[in-house]
Chain A
Amino acid sequence: MIRHAIAEGLVVLRERSAVSVILALALGVPIALAGVGLTLHKWLGPVADLSGQKSSVAVLLHPQIESGERRRWIAELATDHPDWSVSEVSGSELAERLQRWFPYLEELMDSGDATLPSLVEILTDNPDLVTELEDRTEVLAVGPRSSIQQTLGLVARRLALIVGVISFVLLAVAVLLAAVWVHLELYRHADEVIIMRLVGATEGTIRGPFLVAVAIPGAVAGALSVAGSLTTVSGLSRLASALGLSAISVPPSVLVLQIAASVFLPLLAAVITLARHSADATKS
């Protein structure tokens, strides 16, 4: 019956080609937008404070301090200030962060000539208290209380919220469109559905063509959204490179998520609509 479902689903698509194109676009655009948003979020992750819960203050320690002494110092700090969240940023992560903003440092970092100071990040509700650490001998410098990380984080969070809301609303409209379309097709094919039931067709046989008719625009939407997000991110990456920032690329997991959402969401809408229709048919 899979062949029947595909053949009949294609017939439905042919008869309603305009609706299927609109559905593919309606699904593809918000999913592409969400994909770009997620990519930028991941790109900004290491350099921006995206949590927004507390202030993050950077504390640079003297490079000469040995690792054992450094760990002891951090442990004491955590004991003295239980409300602080103290974490050590590894050398490799610090190098990655520096390279993100200053890509030309990559060669220097790789050569091993650069000795990076140890960086400790302190998350706290009261960043003023952290400035007291400046007097300690182990401390090289204490970063600003409102770091660029926080500013970037604030901007990124607001952008994420706006993009998220727009994507959600557009996606909800697209899913609703899929549900309404299936609903209308069921009414258009009501006689056929009744006949199919009467001659012994299972619900799977009846639903198959409608699911195919929704899954195909969903798959097209997936391709559109992947192409859209790759193109947009590529443009943003060129802009970032021109500003001396590191390149941006869409993570494969985001691409997979986009394709899955494009196919799964309209299918879910169709399954719910078909199940409701089936339940109504039982009642009547």
Chain B
Amino acid sequence: MTHAESQELLLDLAYGELDAERAALVKSHLQGCAECQQEKAALDEVRRLAAPVRELEEPPPGFDDRILEAARAQAKLEHDGNVGQVIDVAGSFRPLGVEAARIDAHGPVKARPAERRRPRWVVRAAVGGSVAAAAALAMVVGNTLEARRNAEKAAAAPSEEYAIRVGPAAPTAVDAALRDAEAKRAEAPAQAPKTEAPPAPAPPPGLRQKEKTAQLGSAQRKAASPLAGRGEGSGGDAPAKLSKDVARSRNARTDDLKGNLETVRTREADRIASSPGASASGASAALESAPAAAGRAAVASPAMAASGYESSAQQARHAGNYLQAADLYRRAADARRQEKDPGSAAWNLAHAVECLSAAGRFDEGRQVRDELGRTYPSEATALSAARRALREVEPQPAVR
């Protein structure tokens, strides 16, 4: 075993990840190598010091209750063959939107198997356009984030024909619990000092159902969001109003939505209206004839911190506004570069590529990918994510 090989394997040795044969090889190298010995000793020392990290801590009493309740409800649901809520999708739909949902970097990566294999109690898809797209969209819907995003996307795609039908609402314990958990997380006060105004929707806006944030005066809205106050003139307000109109027209067009999805969507509309950054996103999706104005309002301030761009980009992405998200990610990348954070910058560019792909702008996506490879040659993972995004959504006979 060479010195270099041994160096590579010291960690594996320390954590017992080597088979007996290779462990013996490393150990025999160690005997004659002062440098490796020293390194191994340093490693062991830190591990000894860090021993308390390994002590298991128990979650507080009552932790299990809600989870078990949800688990039982779900098991019963399936056992009884209750299909729960069903979405029927008709018409043609951009398959790329689905892809983009799938490549959401912040979603539970392994936890979206619904799109890979539909559970056995799934579902009829009334197909009027792209078979692959409709099939991918037909899924059993709880009020999960994914479902909401899909509904949002469906509602936000103005140029597409669509119809969504949701079966009789039968909210499961799982959905209710998850919704609560998400809302709690969204509302949980950050560890940083709290802001003053109590009803201010903290960005990124959570799922504050009760607060009629849309009714906040514009002054309050400005106080509530870092984006609003710095908007260009009235730019912070106009999109909010637009998005309310969008929400209204959405209501009109999706009368078929019933039950929980309804409340979720309304809540989402409130959310959009309450946050100028997001509202601009909502508006820009619906008003593709005037994307420039909406875009300008959302990204008005050059002083906006990189993390602000990232959050806005995330929101735009989740709302299905991929072009805007891509733009915001690229701005975030610039800001990160100025902060001397090449890792985050590279990843922001990779996200931009994903979003551009999702929007069907493959040429631009490739340009950004090239920029990423050129500027951050050492960020191989980000680059490969960008490549993956481009390859995955390359127009091709869609077969999963």
Say whether A associates with B: no
Question: A residues touching B (Cβ–Cβ < 8 Å)?
Answer: none
